[in-house]
Amino acid sequence: MNRRITILCDNTVGPVSGTLGEHGFAALVEWEGDALLFDTGMGETLLRNAQRLGRNLAAVFRVVISHGHYDHAGGLWPLLRTCGSKEVLAHPDIFAPRYRVKDTGAPLSIGIPFDEAFLRGQGAHFDFGTRFREIGPGLYLTGEVPRTTAFETGDTGLFCDGAGCRSDPVRDDQSLVIRTERGLVLLLGCCHAGVVNTARWAVECTGESLVHTIIGGTHLGFCGREQLDETVKSLRELGVHKLVGSHCTGFAAAARLMHEFPGRFHPSAVGYTLEV
């Protein structure tokens, strides 16, 4: 079964005129008359970009939220308001308080800008889950990803409180797994759980031996040299054929991946389309 992944929200734009960029991520997955939306961006560009790219989000009835940050779930309310009720698949902790503390010590809220009751009133029908689960033909959500690598330490600048006393491990982070004839395709939001942790978990849960493609935000833009070195090594061991870096991958990490995986690493942007 062929599936098409189209980036609707990203930090940068591609060659399609009239599309806009924002600090956020969203991708549309389509197959044989069905589709699901993976994340919704900040909410400033999703609907406009979908229209410019010829995608009818009113006909998409399921939305996956990868984790509870504003740049992935902020577009949920504009989507509901304009396109009608949706089934929303997510981790139950997506509404937990989330903060980044500035250098000045001032807290910056980075959680979902709407509460659960409000979104339910706007037509969101939440389907919460924490475990690996099948959500469609050859489509899976990772659920909570076990943190098993020693080098994927996460973003130390994230907190559960405005005072910056309790680190936020972003346990609700999950990714979409697509089973194909060529191997697994992983669609990532921010991948706070770690790219390697996520890939290994997908292999373990599906029984597949090959991760063919990884596309989306890798959060490598927030990691140190040691983590990037170990990530490159592990991706080679996994035999990843194609890498498409988006959103939080970062320029330096993208340049390194392009050097390490010549012809196999591709930067994405709004409008980028991948057939899997």
- 32-74 pLDDT per residue, tens: 989 999 999 999 999 999 999 999 999 999 999 999 999 999 9
Low-confidence ranges of the chain (pLDDT < 50): none
**pLDDT value, residue 61:** 97
Q: 3-state class of 97 per DSSP?
A: coil
**pLDDT value, residue 33:** 87
* pLDDT 10s digits, 134-152: 999 999 999 999 999 999 9
Q: How far is CA 172 from CA 73, 99, 249, 263, 268, in A?
A: 13, 15, 19, 33, 25
- CB proximity list for 185: less than 8 A, separation 6 or greater: 3, 5, 177, 178, 212, 213, 214, 215, 276
**pLDDT value, residue 127:** 98
**pLDDT value, residue 272:** 97
**pLDDT value, residue 112:** 97
- CB proximity list for 201: less than 8 A, separation 6 or greater: 132, 142, 145, 146, 193
183-188 and 242-246 beta bridge pairing: unpaired
**pLDDT value, residue 266:** 94
Sheet of 183-188: strand order equals 133-136, 139-141, 176-180, 183-188, 211-217, 242-246, 265-267
What single DSSP character describes residue 252?
Answer: H
Q: Confirm if 8 and 27 have CB atoms less than 8 A apart.
A: yes
Tell me the torsion sign for CA atoms 45, 18, 8, 108: negative
**pLDDT value, residue 235:** 96
Short-list 95, 127, 124, 122, CA closest to 111: 95
**pLDDT value, residue 7:** 98
**E-only strand ranges, the chain:** 4-9, 26-31, 34-38, 62-64, 86-90, 99-101, 107-109, 124-128, 133-136, 139-141, 158-159, 176-180, 183-188, 211-217, 242-246, 265-267, 273-275
Dihedrals φ, ψ of 203, to 5°?
-65, -45
The one-letter amino acid at 109? S
**pLDDT value, residue 102:** 83
